[in-house]
């Protein structure tokens, strides 16, 4: 299971904490970047010694600010929150009073802030019920019918990304005839298939690394002769990002 699958399949409690415990390998894995910490090892940060669980918690705070910071910064297509709602939630999270929030926003009185706080809490209740309904439905869906998980990076999520596990397997079998780790026989013309292929190729990159353009080209050239096309698609679909001068590339997260 890759990092994006870990993230989307994590429990609500795990997403809130920012890490999951891999039962098959005794590791704590950061859901943001994938860095792992092995149970039984002692880790040192500055002059502090800590176990794996404490180490992953310290890592999240040190490298990512906090899980709240990461989640609130996710795109609206994932959070469903407007910029105004995100700002309010940040005020609430950091303990601002209604009067202090009123002074920082366009609100004319504190009752407006209380009303928005109430609406967000009601939305939380609705979200819990919705999650329960979706969980019950998911139990009835076969593995083949499940939609594949996409990286958190794509700039736009639409019907092109509605690909089931069964569809995805058929696409990869068609275009990677020598096996999934082999070369790409041809590049699809249909965009839905093209995105599935690009998603698969993305797995050849380490999301914790920063690559030069030469390194990106080298990896992609082992997949397909037109590595420039693959590189452009990785950027255009939002799976990778780069500096304007093309000197550095990285997997978006």
Looking at residues 66-90, what average pLDDT do you find?
91
- Digit-coded pLDDT (tens) for 81-115: 999 999 999 999 999 999 999 999 988 899 999 99
Query: What proportion of the chain, given as a percentage, has pLDDT over 70?
Result: 91
Secondary structure (3-state) at 86 = helix
**Long-range residue pairs from 239-247, CB within 8 A, at least 24 positions apart, any chain:** 239/151, 239/153, 239/154, 239/198, 239/199, 239/202, 240/153, 240/202, 240/205, 240/216, 241/153, 242/213, 246/213, 247/212, 247/213
Gyration radius (Cα) of the chain, Å: 21
Structure confidence at residue 86 (pLDDT): 94
- Digit-coded pLDDT (tens) for 159-218: 766 778 888 899 999 999 999 899 999 999 898 899 899 989 998 998 888 999 999 999
Contacts of 20 by beta carbon, 8 Å cutoff, 6+ apart: 6, 10, 14, 28, 29, 31
Global confidence as pTM: 0.63
Distance between CA atoms of residues 213 and 246, nearest Å: 6
Q: Where are the beta strands (DSSP E) in the chain?
A: 19-22, 27-30, 36-38, 43-45, 48-50, 240-242, 249-251
Looking at residues 132-147, what average pLDDT do you find?
77
- Give yes or no for residue 144 having a pLDDT over 70: no
Structure confidence at residue 1 (pLDDT): 53
Query: What proportion of the chain, given as a percentage, has pLDDT over 90?
Result: 56
Secondary structure (3-state) at 5 = helix
- Digit-coded pLDDT (tens) for 226-238: 999 999 999 988 8
- Give yes or no for residue 147 having a pLDDT over 80: no
Structure confidence at residue 213 (pLDDT): 95
- Digit-coded pLDDT (tens) for 5-51: 788 888 899 999 999 998 677 899 999 988 999 998 999 888 889 99
Structure confidence at residue 50 (pLDDT): 94
- CB environment 12-43: b (16+ within 10 A), e (fewer): eebbebbbbeeeeeebbbbbbbbbbbeeeeeb
Structure confidence at residue 150 (pLDDT): 61
- Give yes or no for residue 219 having a pLDDT over 60: yes
């Amino acid at each position: 299971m890759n990092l994006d699958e870990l993230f989307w399949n994590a429990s609500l409690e795990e997403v809130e904490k920012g890490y999951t415990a891999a039962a098959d390998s005794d590791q704590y894995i950061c859901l943001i970047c994938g860095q792992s910490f092995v149970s039984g090892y002692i880790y040192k940060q500055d002059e502090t010694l800590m176990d794996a669980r404490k180490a992953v918690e310290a890592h999240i705070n040190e490298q990512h600010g906090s899980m709240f910071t990461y989640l609130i910064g996710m795109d609206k297509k994932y959070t469903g929150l407007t910029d105004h709602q995100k700002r309010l939630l940040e005020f609430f999270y950091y303990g601002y009073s209604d009067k202090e929030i009123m002074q920082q926003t366009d609100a004319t009185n504190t009752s407006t802030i209380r009303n928005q706080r109430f609406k967000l809490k009601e939305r939380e209740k609705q979200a819990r019920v919705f999650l329960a309904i979706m969980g019950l439905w998911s139990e009835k869906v076969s593995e083949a019918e499940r939609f594949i998980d996409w990286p958190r990076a794509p700039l736009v999520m639409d019907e092109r990304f509605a690909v089931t596990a069964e569809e995805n397997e058929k696409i990869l079998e068609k275009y990677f005839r020598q096996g999934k780790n082999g070369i790409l026989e041809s590049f699809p013309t249909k965009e839905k298939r093209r995105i599935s292929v690009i998603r698969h190729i993305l797995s050849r990159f380490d999301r914790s690394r920063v690559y030069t353009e030469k390194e990106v080209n080298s990896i992609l050239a082992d997949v397909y002769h037109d590595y420039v096309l693959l590189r452009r698609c990785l950027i255009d679909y939002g799976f990778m990002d780069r500096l304007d001068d093309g000197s550095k590339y990285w997997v978006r997260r």
